[in-house]
Amino acid sequence: MGTLENVLDHPVMVRLARSRAATRLVNPYSPVRDSRLRAAVSGRTVLVTGASYGLGAATARRLGAAGATVLLVARTAEALAGTAESVTAAGGTAHSYPCDLSDPEAVKDLASKIEERHGAVDVLVSNAGKSIRRSIEDSYDRFHDYERTIGVNYLGPVRLVLALLPGMRARGHGHLVNISTIGALIPPGPRWSAYQASKSAFDVFFRSAATEAACDGITATSVYMALIRTRMSAPTAIFDNVPGLTPDEAAELVCRAVVDRPRRVSPWWAGLAEVGFTAARWPWEVVAGRLFAAGRNRGAVPAGRSATRAEEARQ
């Protein structure tokens, strides 16, 4: 009996997964009309973290083209400048703010500059993230993997929300968007302990904070993304055979969150998966463990290797 990787690597499965029909079934999306997006963000200030590559950059370009003043935040200044240039080249307005979200003083300085130069932010899109796919046995001497993921995926975004939320509440309006992961809704799988734990932590913080902020007119949307084909997913070969969205397609889901302001945006099957996996937690854990054992360390990042492309994504 083959492993899950063997099944997904089968030529028929590969063709099916990469088909447009499969992508639309698993990750449906509908583009937001330009007129609706412009009405929602024109003249507004929108801060997007992780704006140097992938989904963050695509979202910034879309919002900038609709008339928003986009504040771009990411660690890599050169890449961030490239995103800003693409926004302005299309007639939009963008300002770059290089910042390492895992650095408390850097986040404090960032919030101070933004408040001084732009006032209160109208929309905060928390998109920056760090992904590490590594087994527990390859992590015994790599506690820093957990420190790095929690710094970018949880503590950094929390600091930014705490810094910018008071300005929103003082004005009585604002919108918070968290780019979460479908992994926060379903049971954790092997090799993703650092990533899923840190993303789930911010997901819980975000939803809890949203219930309080609502009292002051602040709305919030959790966007549970499935697979997006970016630098973050590229190093994991098995994802090549799973239906996924392009960054531009995924950006439409973010724009819908900004326009419609629902509490949650997720694939149609996410609710069914939550109920199903909760009811079948024990069988899932047994099957997942056996599949991991069967294909042990296949495609995992070797112990001792420096930061991979996956770890640098969305920074």
Residues 6+ apart with CB under 8 A from 63: 37, 41, 46, 48, 70, 92, 255, 258
Q: How many helices (H) and strands (E) does the chain have?
A: 14, 7
Coil, helix or strand for 70?
strand
Instruction: Judge whether 224 counts as a catalytic residue.
Output: no
Euclidean distance between CA atoms 9 and 241, whole angstroms: 7
Euclidean distance between CA atoms 63 and 37, whole angstroms: 8
How is residue 208 written in tokens? Answer: 């809890």
Euclidean distance between CA atoms 89 and 111, whole angstroms: 26
Residues 6+ apart with CB under 8 A from 313: 53, 54, 129, 130, 131, 230, 231, 232, 233
How is residue 39 written in tokens? Answer: 């009405």
H or E segment to which residue 181 belongs = strand 174-181
How is residue 183 written in tokens? Answer: 């992994």
182: number of CA atoms within 13 Å, CB side? 18
Phi, psi torsion values for 20, nearest 5 degrees: -65, -35
- Catalytic residue, from 53, 97, 154, 195: name it: 195
Strands 218-225, 264-265: parallel, antiparallel or unpaired by DSSP? parallel
Q: How far apart are the first and last CA of the chain?
A: 40
Cβ–Cβ < 8 Å for 133, 192: yes
Distance of CA 255 to the CA centre of its chain: 14
Q: Which of the residues are catalytic?
A: 195
